[in-house]
């Protein structure tokens, strides 16, 4: 009965929203691989210094920040579907470049290209999803999207373990990593064909270039509050989340084949947790549900560096990630529901940009701290920043009721 209640939230989704979800699977696998493994791959396999690896990861985020603002506006004018396709193809190419690159200049160029691709996808996907469903199904759709994304991300993380198979057939550890990166890059590029089945919004096709505003006028008040709290959270997350395979190696001496599998398991848990998110939102309200899950996540973030072994650390980190990412589709649904429909692309771009910039900058700081042997401090700083963000979020949005919540209460 409980399962039936959970899954009833996901019935009756429009076909085009399903196509978007299907098309996102293999690109999410690619992102799962790169975000899970890139810190280990560059540092341990390719021999890049930890500092420069942090710089490469930061460059991804900084380029995402710069590109997101422009691409968000462009997606509202020239088409969110077109932006999604371009972003996915570019991401696939950059993953292939990372497989071979060791030259510092090439690595930085690849990082910038990956950041631009991420900006294009972020700016278009949330807005395009929101276009395909009414307000009563929006939170459920974002939760279903989050479920599929996290499972696919988990597959990308778990894929690192396939390097063992390549080693069994005679490839070296390095060659096995390269082959894996290339296979996933090709599959991600092919998945772009599914995106062709999605139509563009009729309203968007009527927009003209004279409507360009860098800050959406109708949505600016709520957007500024949302991005401020998100930026603080992002700075904390960036100190540890992109560096976990490296941290596991430094803290416990384990390879990415083990740590990536642990992170893959946490992504699977995250995926299933997002299915429950709409029920929590219905019970407590969207804003309270976000605050509750984020606060609980912060507690587990604080505990991670005090774990006596990698198994327990992986379990605690998985619970942290589960709770924090349970709030993610709720936050996406909230902001898409509060802003003007014709500004959703710009809002997605700006909010994505002001997430990725602090996230990228703090990754360099986190990598530097880990490189000099301070392995607990990034988690402690991140926990403090999480608390500050959550308190501000509650202060700004505690009286907000979504249109669908008003309808249920009437």
Hey, how many other C-beta atoms are within 10 angstroms of the C-beta on 16? 17
Written as six digits, the tokens of 120 are: 């294009």
User: Domain coordinates of the chain in residue numbers?
Assistant: 19-197+214-409
Secondary structure tally for the chain: helices H, strands E: 18, 0
Mean pLDDT of the chain: 81
Distance CA(331)–CA(334), nearest Å, equals 5
* Long-range own/partner contacts, residues 104-113 (CB < 8 A, 24 or more apart): 104/52, 107/42, 107/48, 107/52, 107/56, 108/55, 108/56, 108/59, 111/56, 111/57, 111/59, 111/60, 111/63, 112/59, 112/60, 112/63, 113/63
Written as six digits, the tokens of 21 are: 């979800």
Task: Tell me which DSSP letter residue 102 carries.
Answer: -
Secondary structure in 3-state letters for 310-357: HHHHHHHHHHHHHHHHHHHHHHHHHHHHHCCHHHHHHHHHHHHHHHHH
Between vectors from CA 159 to CA 156 and to CA 161, what angle results, nearest 5°? 145
Mean pLDDT for the stretch of residues 262-266: 81
Q: What is the pLDDT of residues 130-154, one digit of tens each?
A: 777 766 667 777 777 877 887 888 8
Distance CA(10)–CA(19), nearest Å, equals 15
The pLDDT, as a whole number, for residue 376 is: 95
Return the minimum-mean-pLDDT range out of 90-104, 237-251, 337-351, 363-377.
Answer: 337-351
- What's the gap between Cα 273 and its chain centre? 15
Q: Examine the pLDDT at 302 and tell me if it is beyond 90.
A: yes
Q: Are 88 and 192 in contact (CB under 8 A)?
A: yes
Reported pTM: 0.69
Q: Are 9 and 145 in contact (CB under 8 A)?
A: no
Q: Tokens 């807005």 appear where?
A: 127
Mean pLDDT for the stretch of residues 167-187: 91
The pLDDT, as a whole number, for residue 205 is: 44
Hey, how many other C-beta atoms are within 10 angstroms of the C-beta on 225? 17
The pLDDT, as a whole number, for residue 410 is: 41
Mean pLDDT for the stretch of residues 60-87: 80
Q: Examine the pLDDT at 278 and tell me if it is beyond 80.
A: no
Model confidence at 119, pLDDT cuts 50, 70, 90, reads: confident
Q: Examine the pLDDT at 239 and tell me if it is beyond 80.
A: yes
Specify the fold of 19-197+214-409.
Growth Hormone; Chain: A; (1.20.1250)
Q: Examine the pLDDT at 379 and tell me if it is beyond 90.
A: yes
Burial of 134 (0-12, 13-18, 19+ CB in 10 A): exposed
The pLDDT, as a whole number, for residue 384 is: 96
Distance CA(64)–CA(52), nearest Å, equals 18
Q: Are 243 and 375 in contact (CB under 8 A)?
A: no
């Amino acid at each position: 009965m409980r399962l039936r209640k959970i899954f009833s939230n996901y019935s009756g989704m429009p076909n085009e929203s399903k196509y978007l979800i299907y098309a996102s699977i293999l690109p999410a696998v690619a992102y799962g691989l790169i975000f899970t493994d890139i810190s280990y791959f560059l540092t341990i396999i390719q021999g890049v210094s930890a500092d420069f690896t942090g710089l490469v990861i930061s460059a991804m985020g900084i380029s995402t920040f710069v590109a997101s603002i422009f691409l968000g506006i462009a997606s509202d004018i020239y088409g969110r579907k077109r932006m999604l396709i371009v972003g996915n193809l570019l991401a696939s190419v950059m993953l292939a470049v990372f497989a071979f690159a060791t030259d510092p200049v090439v690595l930085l160029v690849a990082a910038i290209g990956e950041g631009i691709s991420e900006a294009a996808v972020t700016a278009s996907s949330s807005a395009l999803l929101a276009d395909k469903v009414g307000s009563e199904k929006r939170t459920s759709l974002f939760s279903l999207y989050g479920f599929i994304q996290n499972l696919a991300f988990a597959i990308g993380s778990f894929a690192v373990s396939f390097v063992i198979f390549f080693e069994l057939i005679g490839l070296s550890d390095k060659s096995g990593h390269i082959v894996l990166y290339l296979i996933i890059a090709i599959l991600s590029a092919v998945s772009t064909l599914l995106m062709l089945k999605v139509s563009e919004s009729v309203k968007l096709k009527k927009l003209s270039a004279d409507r360009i505003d860098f800050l959406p006028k109708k949505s600016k008040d709520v957007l500024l509050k949302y991005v401020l709290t998100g930026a603080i959270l992002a700075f904390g997350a960036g100190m540890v989340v992109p560096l976990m395979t490296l941290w596991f190696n430094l803290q416990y001496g384990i390879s990415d084949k083990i740590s990536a599998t642990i992170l893959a398991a946490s992504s699977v848990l995250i995926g299933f947790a997002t299915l429950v998110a709409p029920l929590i939102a219905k019970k407590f309200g969207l804003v309270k549900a976000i605050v509750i899950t984020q606060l609980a996540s912060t507690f587990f973030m604080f505990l991670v560096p005090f774990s006596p072994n990698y198994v327990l650390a992986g379990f605690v980190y998985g619970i942290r990630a589960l709770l924090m990412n349970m709030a993610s589709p709720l936050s996406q649904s909230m902001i898409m529901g509060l802003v003007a429909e014709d500004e959703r692309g710009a809002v997605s771009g700006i909010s994505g940009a002001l997430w990725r910039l602090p996230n990228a900058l703090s990754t360099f700081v986190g990598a530097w701290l880990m490189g000099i042997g301070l392995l607990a401090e990034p988690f402690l700083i991140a926990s403090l920043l999480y608390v500050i963000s959550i308190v501000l979020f509650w202060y700004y949005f505690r009286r907000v009721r979504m249109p669908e919540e008003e309808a249920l209460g009437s």
